[in-house]
Copies of this chain bind each other. A is one copy, B any other.
Amino acid sequence: MNKTINVGIIGVGVVGSAVVLLLEQNREVISARAGANIVIKKGVVRDRSKTDERVKIPLTNDINDILDDDEIDIVLELMGGIDLAYEVAQKALKNKKAFVTANKAMLAYHRYDLQQIANNTPIGFEASVAGGIPIIKALRDGLSANHIIGIRGILNGTCNYILTKMANEGLNFDECLKEAQKLGYAESNPTLDISGMDSAHKLIILASIAYGVNALPEDILIEGISKINQDDIFFANEFGYIIKLLAIAKKNGDEVELRVHPVMVSKNEMIGKVSGVMNGISVIGDKVGETMYYGAGAGGNPTASAVVSDLIEIARNSSSPMLGFRKPLESGLKLKPIASIESRYYLRIKVIDKAGTLAQITSILGDNGISIKMLLQRESNDTGFATLLLSTHKSNELSIQKAIENLCTLNIIYDKPYMIRIEE
């Protein structure tokens, strides 16, 4: 007979319910693959109205009913939030229970603490990045022979849906956000998604596996998508780019740069072809070259697929080390200071439409060592104004930020120029 693996779920909302139902519906195939019966012994909920009514497991509201239950082998944390989730993880691991989570925010702050506490007790977190796409396993196990040269990820379906809709239908950001909310792709408070913070949580988790760098969200460059408008989309389209919110990790020598921001990327690149609410991650390894992973980054079932793959891995006794390494990965890798990041840049500058304007602007750019590659001037909706759209040759953050600051002092400038980075 098969052995039985008992799981306790903390948080039985959309994802938790999907996990329970998946384990029931695919019970046979899962038990054949795991070599064990994976049974949800009980669940902890605060608000039973969020639990799918088809879920028939015993429910309690006391987390300790799970943490102190000697028969429970795996604690599955799906409640979200940082502090309490971290406490739960610590206690589970101290009680030698394996720990599985989809909680990217908590991992963004505590993944190294947990790795240390775990001391070989398995921790699964496939669901924390890119939902159903098995990117954690791909990076940690599939690409383990490589130095990772770079990662570019579309890690937030809400933002990708909005940007795709803006590009395809000519609508503005607010309209697309509303549509995303109507369809359930965006929360009523969408800040975490559209600010880029959600992507940043996921990026620094991936960067720990790729590079062993311990970055916090506050250490890295994060910009959201709410300022993008149709001028930007027009310019991108004109020059063969598409605008995506990318999470980027790059290694240069002994420095790693991590950043999340809108990017103009070539339409011909595979990552540029990831559209709508889908996620995609391109990883470049020194030996394997580019590989790309695509799929649903959110939703009950895709997330449950990732969670249950972790449970199966634990049942099989085939877990890899949490962050993919057993001793420090690359000693001496440092986070690259934001100011020294290099890129090409796009600027949208709304100006008073009069002679000499362009000269003043190019002069300021030139003073900051920035040279223009392409330039378009568009009529503005406001009479008397024009919109300059331009891209620069390679420059760096310090120079471009200085130039933007200088531009703001000109009285021909309507408001602060808007900048988007260009990835080649």
Q: Which A residues are within 8 Å of any B CB, using their own CB?
A: 2, 18, 22, 26, 28-35, 126, 132-134, 137-138, 141-147, 212, 270, 273, 285-296, 301-302, 304-309, 312-313, 316, 318-321, 324-330
Contacts and interface: CB of A to CB of B under 8 A. Distances in A.
A247 B129 CA distance: 29
Contact of A288 (B132, B145, B292, B316): B132
A288 B313 contact: no
Contact of A329 (B29, B212, B301, B304): B29
A6 to B, nearest CB: 17
A152 to B, nearest CB: 13
Contact of A291 (B142, B290, B293, B321): B293
A148 to B, nearest CB: 9
Nearest to A270: B294
Identical chains in the assembly: 2
A331 to B, nearest CB: 9
Contact of A309 (B28, B143, B270, B295): B143
Given A29-B147, A132-B287, A292-B295, 17 more contacts: A29-B329, A29-B330, A33-B325, A132-B285, A132-B291, A134-B141, A138-B142, A144-B312, A144-B313, A145-B308, A145-B309, A270-B273, A287-B301, A289-B301, A291-B293, A292-B294, A316-B320
Contacts of A301: 287-289
Given A134-B142, A142-B309, A327 B35 contact: yes
Contacts of A327: 2, 31-32, 35
Contact of A318 (B34, B273, B288, B318): B318
Contact of A319 (B309, B318, B326): B318
